[in-house]
Amino acid sequence: MKFRELSIEGAFEITPQLHGDPRGLFTEWYRFDRLAEVVGHPLNLAQGNLSVSAAGVVRGVHFADVPPGQAKYVTCVRGAVLDVIVDLRVGSPTFGRWEGVRLDDADRRAVYIAEGLGHGFCALSDDATLSYLCSEPYNPTGEHAVHPLDPDLAIEWPADVPQLSARDEAAPSLAEAIASGLLPDYAACKEFTESLRTA
C-alpha cells in the first residue's frame, strides 16, 4: 500500500497492492494502522456509505462544519470516477484549489480527505459505485455544498452536460459561501486535527 500526499494539505491518494491469479483478486484497500501513521491520527469509523451513479453524474462539492467535520476514505468498487478534492478552508495556502484523482475498479486506488476539505466526483461509467468510510455520522444541519460548476472553482469535470442533484444545483457559489461565513476556517481545522493527534 502506497500513500501519496496530494497538493492540498490533508488529502492523500492510496494505491493498494493487488494480488491476482486465475481465480481472481485480493487486496487490502484500507489499513487502520497505515493510515494513522501517515495522517497522524486514527480515522474514527462512524459511518459507511455506498453511492451508485450513472455516467455524467456530478455529485458535490460537499463539506461539513469543523468541528467535528467529516473525514472520508473513498474508493470505487465498480466502474470509474474522477474524484475531486477542493480546499474550502478559508485562510489555507491552497484555498480554492482542486485536485482530481481517477478511482476505478482496475487500479483500486482510494483517497483520504481530511476534515474541512470539499469532496465531489464525476461518474465516468454507468453504475459507478463508490464506497465511503466516514469519521462522523451524517448531520443534515452541519452538511453543506458549494456549486460544482462555479467558474471560480473552474473544476474540469469530464462530462459534456453534468447531471446534478437539485441540492447541488441550488448550492451557493464559492463567493457566496465566503460572504455568508459558511466555509470552514483553516486555523480551526488545524486546531481540530491537532486535537485528534493528541487525543
Q: Annotated catalytic sites, by residue?
A: 62, 132
Cis check for the bond before 68: say yes or no (omega within 30 of 0).
yes
Q: CA-CA distance, 179 to 112, in Å (whole number)?
A: 28
Q: CA-CA distance, 196 to 199, in Å (whole number)?
A: 5
Q: CA-CA distance, 105 to 100, in Å (whole number)?
A: 17
β-bridge mates for residue 87, sequence order: 117
Q: Look up cell 481540530; give the residue.
A: 192
